[in-house]
Homo-oligomer: A and B are copies of this chain.
Amino acid sequence: MIIEFERIVEIVSEIKKLKEEEGGIKQVYFIACGGSLGAFYSADHFLKTEAEDIKSYMINSNEFLHNTPKAFGKNSVVVVCSHGGDTPETVKSAKKAYEADAAVIGLTYTPGSPLTEYCHYVVGYRFRTDIGESWEYDKPLVPVTIAAEILHQTEGYDHYEQYVDGLKKIDGIVRKAQEQTAERAEVFAEKYKDEKMIYTMGSGAAYGSAYIQSICIFMEMQWINSACIHSGEYFHGPFEITDRNTVFLIQISEGSTRALDERALVFLKKYADRFEIVDAKELGISTIDASVVDYFNQTLFTAVYDIYNFRLAEVRQHPLSVRRYMWKVEY
């Protein structure tokens, strides 16, 4: 397994015991900024879909600080995430959660960072340096597994066994999918290297990977205008900008919302000429049980986008590390 599953099981078990006398776990807050917030999408979606009673709320750190939900407190589990562990709003959010006696789980790549000071538990994930030709595709997998484990240990989760089985399979799937994508990533990079605007599209629990691709890769790391469109919303406004020139990167999830993505794709095939399809089913995700496959799409898409993004950055001679404002000016 690619993530620290046993550790997550233990952490949740400890929190559950700790919170028992105080009325149990009633809310889970996923608090972060940008790509780290986007990495929570599947986790939040999981609880919104699967939980009977537990409330889930995914919120930007600064919004959480300024508009703290009334329910937040000792019955809350707070999951925070910051790669460097030093995003000021997220560190402050963790502190606020810690001081309110919420159970705080921190996701970071940076042990000993300021964030970890206010976390009862810290969980890591692998990064580029650990996995070679990829970035951080297990980053969304950790929080959704925390969500699944919380549900399993509290209300119960009917498909827990299938979920754990999926955890065992996903790394193999991802590796093959990355190989399978190598050539088309080259073609994509050459074809769209001069674009001024690229839309991303997705739905369901995997919408977060389209969001991250839009705001962190196209906008932040490549300075290409972008917007992330929900494929169910596409037909209620956004589709009017579709024409033979508009560029879309559309992800087709496997699972419950596949029909939404496929409907958008049918439209693109008719009225657009310039779109790239990333299809989780075609990329081999279906060996994971249908009851849980929704929650693995984001990890697969994230991993495959890495392949596209490295090629795009190379061809555009615009390294993914270049910034004009971030970490450079005051903001």
Contact = CB atoms under 8 A, between A and B. Distances in A.
Nearest to A207: B63
A50 B61 CA distance: 18
Contacts of A233: 33-34, 37, 60, 215
Nearest to A235: B331
Interface in A15-70: 26, 33-37, 48-53, 55, 57, 60-63, 66-67, 69-70
A254 interface: no
Interface string A228-240: 1110110111111
14 contacts: A26-B53, A48-B69, A49-B70, A52-B71, A55-B55, A60-B232, A61-B232, A63-B257, A215-B236, A215-B238, A216-B237, A223-B240, A225-B227, A226-B227
Interface string A214-253: 1110011101111111101101111111100010000000
A90 to B, nearest CB: 10
A71 B67 CA distance: 26
Contact of A204 (B67, B237, B238): B67
A203 interface: yes
B33 A50 contact: no
A181 to B, nearest CB: 23
Nearest to A90: B236
Given A63-B230, A240-B326, 20 more contacts: A33-B236, A34-B236, A36-B236, A52-B71, A60-B203, A61-B232, A62-B232, A63-B204, A66-B256, A66-B257, A66-B259, A87-B236, A215-B236, A216-B237, A219-B238, A224-B241, A226-B241, A227-B227, A239-B325, A271-B325
In the A-B complex, the 5 residue pairs with the closest CB atoms = A34-B236, A227-B227, A215-B237, A60-B232, A220-B237
Interface in A257-311: 257, 259-260, 263, 267, 271, 294
A323 interface: yes
Q: How large is the interface on A (under 10, 10 to 19, 20 to 34, 35 or more residues)?
A: 35 or more
Contacts of A50: 69-70
Interface string A86-114: 01010000000000000000000000000
A237 B240 CA distance: 26
